[in-house]
Chain A
Amino acid sequence: DQQVKQNSPSLSVQEGRISILNCDYTNSMFDYFLWYKKYPAEGPTFLISISSIKDKNEDGRFTVFLNKSAKHLSLHIVPSQPGDSAVYFCAATTGGGNKLTFGTGTQLKVEL
């Protein structure tokens, strides 16, 4: 049972435009959500997170939106840069955080 889903395996965006990566979840007990960025042959790098008590969190070019009623979150990257090309994973956890449940990832390609 895939509790965290990233239905788009890939996304291509032009440099300078907005990248929107989507993630859906099924477990209503999840209360903390994270986005990680991963380059090939490297460990994931933490990008941004959001608690379920909020619906938006912003950090520089990265903004995460949470829609609890729809069990949906999204990551917006504005403006997109070629260095943003990577695989992006969303993850979710319940209180305590000992188990992160990851989506399968979305490969973002930012083209010149």
Chain B
Amino acid sequence: SQTIHQWPATLVQPVGSPLSLECTVEGTSNPNLYWYRQAAGRGLQLLFYSVGIGQISSEVPQNLSASRPQDRQFILSSKKLLLSDSGFYLCAWRLAGAADTQYFGPGTRLTVL
């Protein structure tokens, strides 16, 4: 069966510091991968998605970037965090070419102070 991992689970970072969140998927090959953010009291907003190694699509212009160095690894980064980057970050995967259901990881709670 497929599993998705995210780390760290929680993170407190000062404004202006860099960020690296990692997501890995097990039990499947060539998944579509996604990064979402849930701000306090809001729905889930798609940030980036990837259909293959090195292929990144950005949905929202912002202070963040994403990379996919390996088939089942997806990384969310920032060079300098802003207060507005605080939120709950979720990674998700979907079988490429299959039904449209996306499956989510456990999430990372990021607090920027």
Do these two chains interact? Answer: yes
Please report A residues at the B interface, Cβ cutoff 8 Å: 4, 32, 34, 36, 41-46, 49, 89, 91, 93, 96-105
Check B109 against A41 for contact (C-beta < 8 Å): yes
- Number of interface residues, chain B, beta carbon within 8 A: 26
**Of B11-19, B78-86, B98-106, the one with at least 4 CB within 8 A of chain A:** B98-106
- How many A-B residue pairs have C-beta atoms within 8 angstroms? Tell me: 60
The 4 nearest A-B residue pairs measured at CB: A97-B100, A43-B104, A102-B43, A104-B43
Which label, helix, strand, loop or mixed, suits the secondary structure of the B interface?
Answer: strand
Check A93 against B109 for contact (C-beta < 8 Å): no
Check B107 against A99 for contact (C-beta < 8 Å): no
8 A Cβ contacts from B17-54 to A: 32, 41-46, 49, 51
The interface residues of chain A lying within 8 Å CB-to-CB of B100 are 32, 34, 49, 93, 96-97, 100
